[in-house]
C-alpha cells in the first residue's frame, strides 16, 4: 500500500493556519473527490466528501458481483471548500474544508491504484502505515505527542485511528488521522484543530466519524 503518498500529502500546520484565517465562502460548492462537475453551490450543511470510484481490479470479477461501495462523508456546517484544483492526470486527490471561525480543517485525500487487501488482513495492513505517518509528522512538526494508535471500525470498515498533539513555531494543534482502504483506493481523513481545545476537537471527530458511510 502506498502509505508514503498519504504521508507526503498530509496537510501542514502552517497551511492550515493560513487557510483558517481567510474569510469563509458564503456558499461552498458540494464536496466530492470524484472528478469536478459543473456544480451548483450547495449549503455547507449538505456538503459531502466522496471518494472517487474505485478502479477495476486486474482480475476479472464474476458478472453477478456487486460494485464495491464508495466512501462518502458529510462535511459539518460552517466548513468552506478550500480545495486545490484537481489534477486529472494524478492518481491522488485532496479535498480541503476550513472553518475560519473555529480554526479547524478537514482534509480528505484519496490515492488510486493501490493493491487490494483482503478483509482478514486489513487490520495488519493498516497498522503498517503507522511508521510512515509518524515519520511524516516528525518531519513537519517540532513536537509530536501521540495519544492514540488503534484500528477501529466505522461504517463496518476498518480504519487506522491516530491522534496526536502537534507543535511548530510555537503554534499548537490537535490532529486526528483516519486511514482506510476500499478496493484499490486508499482514503485518508485528517481532522485538525488549530488550538489545544480538546473539547472542540473531540466534538469535530465525533461529528465527522458519525457521518462516514460506504454506499
Please give the domain boundaries of the chain with CATH numbers for all domains.
3-28+47-53+68-214 (3.40.1000.10)
The pTM (predicted TM-score) of the whole model is: 0.75
Question: Is the model's pLDDT at 45 over the cut of 60?
Answer: no
pLDDT in tens, 140-182: 888 999 999 999 999 999 999 999 999 988 889 999 999 999 8
Question: Is the model's pLDDT at 48 over the cut of 70?
Answer: no
- Are the C-beta atoms of residues 97 and 80 closer than 8 Å to each other? yes
Mean pLDDT along residues 80-86: 89
Amino acid at each position: 500500500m502506498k502509505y508514503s503518498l498519504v504521508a507526503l500529502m498530509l496537510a501542514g500546520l502552517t497551511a492550515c493556519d493560513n487557510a483558517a484565517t481567510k474569510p469563509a465562502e458564503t456558499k461552498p460548492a458540494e464536496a466530492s473527490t470524484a472528478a469536478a462537475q459543473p456544480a451548483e453551490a450547495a449549503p455547507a450543511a449538505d456538503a459531502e466528501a466522496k471518494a472517487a470510484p474505485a478502479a477495476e481490479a486486474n482480475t476479472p470479477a464474476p458478472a453477478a458481483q456487486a460494485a464495491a461501495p464508495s466512501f462518502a462523508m458529510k462535511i459539518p456546517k460552517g466548513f468552506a471548500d478550500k480545495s486545490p484544483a484537481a489534477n486529472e492526470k494524478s492518481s491522488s486527490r485532496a479535498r480541503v474544508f476550513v472553518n475560519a471561525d473555529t480554526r479547524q480543517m478537514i482534509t480528505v485525500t484519496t490515492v488510486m491504484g493501490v493493491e487490494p487487501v483482503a478483509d482478514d488482513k486489513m487490520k495488519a495492513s493498516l497498522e503498517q502505515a503507522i511508521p510512515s505517518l509518524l515519520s511524516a509528522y516528525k518531519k513537519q512538526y517540532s513536537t509530536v505527542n501521540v495519544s492514540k494508535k488503534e484500528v477501529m471500525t466505522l461504517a463496518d470498515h476498518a480504519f487506522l485511528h491516530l491522534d496526536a498533539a502537534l507543535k511548530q513555531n510555537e503554534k499548537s494543534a490537535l490532529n486526528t488521522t483516519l486511514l482506510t482502504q476500499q478496493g484499490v483506493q486508499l482514503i485518508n481523513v485528517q481532522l485538525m484543530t488549530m488550538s489545544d481545545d480538546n473539547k472542540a476537537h473531540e466534538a469535530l471527530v465525533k461529528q465527522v466519524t458519525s457521518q462516514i458511510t460506504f454506499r
